[in-house]
Amino acid sequence: MKDSGVIALVGGLSLIMCGCAGLSGDSTGCTGNSSGQAVADCGESSPRLEREGFVVLDFRARRDVYGRAYVVGEIKNAGGATQGVELQASLRDADGRLLAVGHFYPASCTNIRPGETWPFAYSFGEQREAVGAELRIVGAFRTMGVPGGVAYLQ
């Protein structure tokens, strides 16, 4: 797994790189390097992935009793600018094949202030064959405030 800027969880649905957890709800501690690449490290508990001024503070893969797989976590704006963030979560089977990919915005279309943390969750629906989950910070963006919070197309 050499893709830059990825946290991987597998085993049950959470362990890929070091095997610390499972999809049953455990989390794998991961650390990032200066290029934004994440590597799992069972002994680390602080910043897992940092990119575009954001730090993933927590990332877990879960499965409910109905076989639905989802990822949950928390991200922090560690940069100096108020901005939003786009995340990508992926699921893989036991052979490493990609099963599903989802892009989402933890704060929707809202900017996150510097120092502010924001929870996130993304559901893949029923994915009984999934055993691994990955998370990537795709990028940061700035939204423009619109009076009343609504913009209409003309």
93: which residues sit within 8 A by CB, 6+ positions away? 99, 129, 130, 131, 132
- Of 72, 59, 62, the residue nearest 5 (C-alpha): 59
Instruction: Dump pLDDT digits (tens) for 100-134.
Output: 999 999 998 789 999 999 999 999 999 999 999 99
The number of helices, as runs of H, and strands, as runs of E, in the chain is 0, 11
Residue 105: predicted pLDDT: 94
Instruction: Dump pLDDT digits (tens) for 31-86.
Output: 333 333 333 332 334 447 899 999 999 999 999 998 899 999 999 999 999 999 99
Residue ranges and CATH numbers for the domains of the chain are 6-149 (2.60.40.3230)
For the chain, the residue count is 154
